[in-house]
Amino acid sequence: MNELKDKVALITGGSRGIGRAIALKLGAFGCHVAFSYVAHKEAALEVEKQLHRMGVKAKASCVDVGSFEEVEAWVQKTKEELGHLDILINNAGIVIDKPLMMMSEEDWKRVIETNLNGMFHASKSCIVTFMKQKSGNIVNISSVSGIIGLAGQTNYSASKGGMNAFTKALAKEVAGFGIRVNAVAPGFIDTEILAHLKEEQRKEILRFIPMERVGSPEDVANCVAFLLSKKAEYITGQILQVDGGLALR
């Protein structure tokens, strides 16, 4: 996709899993990438190296997306170092699964602060730039949990449901400025979150997926790339489910 060549993308949570796959996918199309990480510096630096080998600019930065001040400073620094900003991928997220009766206030706050507040902080920090240049593209990485709800994930489902509503509301606000806002809602994806599951647990999961397989990070990255392409230039405010049919109703 030549339309992504020399664009600049900002990705929250780009060192592993889905974020890593998105960063490398965009880099393969010639897009320069700045991405954040928190605890996995070595993995982040390896992604940065891979992007450099593709011939694009790349910068990994340790950023707490739960802090508006840190995110705002990161966005400003990225604009200064890479010259401009065209794309925002809100991917950073955490999971702390527990039944509500066992969920602490801290469990609730940590998930909301990272998943929902982090998206607000990055979007708020980028939106004026996008509006001034009358162009921009935001893709939020949500979850089918935010659509159908999953037991043991009241905090996570609430954060992703809020992300879906935010996507639709912001899309209406900024469409007139040439800015598109969409979300991708993955189902069960083969990342570190699933790596700890036993074989019988994985088989149980497959029972609920019509396509009878879990998705890969690349499945999600491909859909993100589509939403950023000219083929999707008349699409905004949509939640694209990438779940093998898990959330079919």
Catalytic machinery residues: 156
Is-contact 32 7, C-beta < 8 A?
Answer: yes
Q: Which amino acid is at 223?
A: C
The answer for residues whose C-beta is within 8 angstroms of residue 74's C-beta and 6 or more apart is 34, 36, 61, 63, 125
At a CB cut-off of 8 Å and minimum separation 6, what does 207 contact? none
Classify residue 180 as left (phi > 0), alpha (psi -120 to 50) or beta: beta
Structure tokens, 20:
């890593």
**240: its two tokens:** 């694209």
What span, in angstroms and rounded, lies between the C-alpha atoms of 237 and 220? 17
Q: Are 145 and 186 in contact (CB under 8 A)?
A: no
Counts for the chain of helices (H) and strands (E), in that order: 10, 7
3-state per-residue secondary structure call for 122-167: HHHHHHHHHHHHCCEEEEEECCCHHHHCCCCCHHHHHHHHHHHHHH
Query: How far from the centroid of its chain's Cα atoms is residue 95's Cα?
Result: 14
Tokens in use for 48?
């940065």
